[in-house]
Amino acid sequence: MLSRKQNFVNRILFGSHDRNINFDNFDFTTITISVFLAFFGILMVSSISFNELTTRHIFNLMVGFVLFFFIFRFEMSTWRNIDLYLIFLSLFLLLILLVPNLAPEINGAKRWIRFLGFSFQPAELAKLSLLIYVSSFCIRKKEEFKSNWTGFWKPIFIMVSLISLILLQPDLGSSTIIFLVTLTIMFIAGAPIIHFIAISMVGLFTFILMIFLVPWRFQRILTFMNPWENAQEGGYQLTRSFSAIGRGDWFGTGYGESWLKLNLLPDAQTDFVFSIILEEFGSFFGLILIFIFLVLVIRCFMIGRLARQMNQMFNSFIAYGIGTLIGLHVFINIGVSIGLLPTKGLTLPFLSYGGSNLFLTFILISLIQRIYFELNESDRHKVISRRKNF
């Protein structure tokens, strides 16, 4: 006989009260890290925006938690069965952005759809959709995928279609992440090395063309090489980011004591939130934060490896893709903040202000939890015996 508390938890997680919930089936490492980062994100948005955006961020966070529990209810096989529907929905929403007067233009880009006071980036859904589709395709068409060019280029065609629409926004950052996540899954799935090298070279060549054929992108690269030469114009964000990092030194100026957030560093609450973190908490805490993200990504890879060992290949590909997706977002955002990469508008998972990527991150963490849960449910004793390897 389940207690009233157990019935309540079971209804939230499974939509049913007759499940005998076992908390050993959940990965509390990813849950703990996600909760910590989510609430630390509230602190940072509150510090940077002086409560102007905090209420909205807290609301987005609550929606994210609802999405987490909602997505967890569905078995992973459900996503495998609706992969094409998600692709068509992503294509449809990306096409809407091209319709005049339907999508607002912000900072020269049309990336958001607004509806009933809410805004959403279809590119975030495209990341999730392609992650699921490619993972599913590599299972459904395994022999065709590994044996001939036709099977290999089918998912590439879908990827190129999505990327082309995203580039029209324009959004080179999201396009790059989608490309790299797709290649990662296909590589893990066993794509022939010659096919993998071919598409990698084509992608690299296209990426270079997108930079050199677009004047403002090429200028951004030149500015990145020497931001101080044009510190009041093209290099303004990067030099202000350096100033924030330098001011924070090792142990920071204290929470809420940032100067650069006072309209001196553009996009401080989104693209350059890590710079403000280093200013207020110091580089030592920044290293700890990087380590926390690294543990989260490695944990996703470990769950992917475990799923592979238990022959749950679709779940394995999804887990590896999630780890890659989160890792790339973290690497690019932090790389931009510290001057390792050219300026590119990508958010830091959990910590940056913005609903679309926050929702995507909660969905990804929910999928990881579902994968781990199904691993334990399918062969609980085997998982426990291997947990020492984690």
Establish if 19 belongs to a structural domain: no
**How far is C-alpha 272 from the geometric centre of its chain's CA atoms?**
16
Establish if 126 belongs to a structural domain: yes
**How far is C-alpha 84 from the geometric centre of its chain's CA atoms?**
21
Asked whether residue 17 carries a pLDDT value surpassing 60, the answer given is no
- The residue out of 150, 178, 213 marking a domain boundary is 213
Establish if 219 belongs to a structural domain: no
Q: How many domains does the chain have?
A: 2
Instruction: Match 């068409």 to its residue by tokens.
Output: 141
Establish if 14 belongs to a structural domain: no
Residues 92, 63 share a domain: no
Residues 205, 131 share a domain: yes
Establish if 356 belongs to a structural domain: yes
Residues 165, 273 share a domain: no
Q: How confident is the model at residue 28 (pLDDT cuts 50, 70, 90)?
A: confident
Question: Is 320:301 a contact under the CB 8 Å cutoff?
Answer: yes
pLDDT single digits (tens) 69-113: 999 989 998 998 998 999 999 999 988 888 777 766 666 667 778
Establish if 175 belongs to a structural domain: yes
Determine the structural domain holding residue 179 and report its residue range. Answer: 82-213
- The residue out of 213, 248, 277 marking a domain boundary is 213
Residues 326, 286 share a domain: yes
Give the DSSP letter of residue 348: P
Question: Is 286:277 a contact under the CB 8 Å cutoff?
Answer: yes
pLDDT single digits (tens) 280-315: 898 999 999 999 999 999 999 999 999 998 889 999
Q: How confident is the model at residue 389 (pLDDT cuts 50, 70, 90)?
A: very low
Task: Tabulate helix, strand, coil % of the chain (nearest 5).
Answer: 70, 0, 25
Q: Which amino acid is at 256?
A: G
Vertex 203: Cα angle to 197 and 205 (nearest 5): 100
Residues 244, 149 share a domain: no
Global pTM value: 0.86
Residues 193, 288 share a domain: no
Residues 248, 368 share a domain: yes
Cα distance from N-terminal residue to C-terminal residue, the chain: 34
pLDDT single digits (tens) 208-267: 887 777 776 777 776 766 666 666 666 777 888 888 888 888 888 888 878 777 776 777
Asked whether residue 1 carries a pLDDT value surpassing 80, the answer given is no
Residues 305, 277 share a domain: yes
Residues 91, 186 share a domain: yes
